[in-house]
Amino acid sequence: MKHLLSTQDLGDTEFEGILELAARFKRGESSSALLGKAVGLLFFNPSLRTRVSMDLAVSQLGGTPVTLDVGAGVWDMEYRDGAVMDGDKAEHVREGAAVLGRYVQALGVRSFPKMKNLEEDLADPVIAGFARHAGIPVLNLESMRDHPCQALADALTLREKLGPTRGRKLLLTWAYHPKPLPMAVPTAVVHVATRLGMDVTLAHPEGFGLPVAVMAAASANAKRSGGSLHVTSDATEGFRGADVVYAKSWGGIEWYGDWENEKRARADHRDWLVTEEKMARGAGARFMHCLPVRRNVVVADSVLDGPRSIVLDQAENRLHAQKAILEFLLATR
């Protein structure tokens, strides 16, 4: 059974094959690889880009998308094994996944971490439950573990904009946000940028590091690809000479599940906003963000609306990358 839960699941041939096919789709190549097939798209959390681009990707390959919002027209689902289901959840992932597996040929699932218990969130229980019980390929549409669709679209975008990526400098900078957000996107970015051989600087205030396993995987990627990974708590250092500035906010691992204390800690870090002045230190740096983004909290209007911003290219490339992913998942069944 082939699932795609993280880009770390992909061998180099698979990774390169998906990117090459995505580029062909972008150039206008067509495919009916999903003719006669249905793909379930199950959302435990809101989405604009993932939802629309997945729906279109399935349709453009000749398939039928079945898009469902858990808890809104579809039974809310329990995921804990052994749970006594006397609360508001009417269906267990064990049956929900297995039933969907009898109707559709692949399943995309978005399920954000609960942001209360780090150990439980790191186990990614909802996505893991679907992968275990659906009996069909499962595609992660963003969970604690990764956001592989974003990562592959970003890899496509980086290659389009930079050409060869090896040795090019990418700054992934934490940004202030009024809420603690999941770590899926920063995880996806460090996984993929180190894999592309880039010199990656990860900048975040003290207490906002990424999980140990993510950093270990990124370091191993960098070693294999000839790239590098450097961590700093200096808000401006990484801008110097950067080819790419990728901004994202995420929750503080040091206060995980303790929002009141994290809120106090992050109040001091509003100056992590990406401004024109900081961008000017780069080597004509492109600005990237996965979207949605909070204007003038994460990034200044002038940067987001300026000529160096490539956020819309990233969003467009979600469609091309996901068509390639779907063909990869279903062609190998």
Measured CA to CA, the distance from residue 41 to residue 61 in angstroms comes to: 15
Are the C-beta atoms of 285 and 168 separated by less than 8 Å?
Answer: no
Measured from the CB atom, the residue of 50 and 157 that comes closer to ligand CP is 50
Are the C-beta atoms of 251 and 182 separated by less than 8 Å?
Answer: yes
Closest contact distance (angstroms) between CB of 47 and ligand CP is: 3
Rounded least distance, CB 110 to ligand CP, Å: 7
Least Å distance between CB 13 and ligand CP?
26
Give CA separation, 281 vs 183, 231, 234, 291, 305, in Å: 27, 18, 14, 24, 18
Instruction: Give the pair of three-digit tokens for residue 120.
Output: 């439980």
User: Residue 25 or 43: which CB sits closer to ligand CP?
Assistant: 43
Residues that bind ligand CP (CB under 6 A): 47-50, 142, 150, 290-292
Rounded Cα distance between 199 and 273, Å, is: 22
Query: CB 57 → ligand CP: shortest distance, Å?
Result: 13
Distances 244 to 26, 114, 199, 325, 328 between C-alpha atoms, Å: 22, 31, 10, 25, 29
Smallest separation (angstroms) from ligand CP to the CB of 56 = 13
250 close to 183: Cβ distance less than 8 angstroms: yes
Residue 162 or 291: which CB sits closer to ligand CP? 291
Number of residues that this document lists for the chain: 333
Nearer to ligand CP, 78 or 154 (CB): 154
Looking at residue 211, the DSSP 8-state letter turns out to be: P
By beta-carbon proximity to ligand CP, the closer residue of 188 and 203 is 188
Nearer to ligand CP, 150 or 201 (CB): 150
Q: Which is nearer to ligand CP, 201 or 314 (CB)?
A: 314
* Distance separating alpha carbons of residues 181 and 147, to the nearest angstrom: 13
Shortest distance, position 62 Cβ to ligand CP, whole Å: 23
Q: How far is the CB of 83 from ligand CP (least distance, A)?
A: 28
Residue ranges of the alpha helices (H) in the chain?
Answer: 12-26, 49-60, 93-103, 118-122, 125-133, 148-162, 184-195, 212-225, 259-266, 276-279, 301-304, 311-331
Sign of torsion over alpha carbons 132, 133, 139, 142: negative
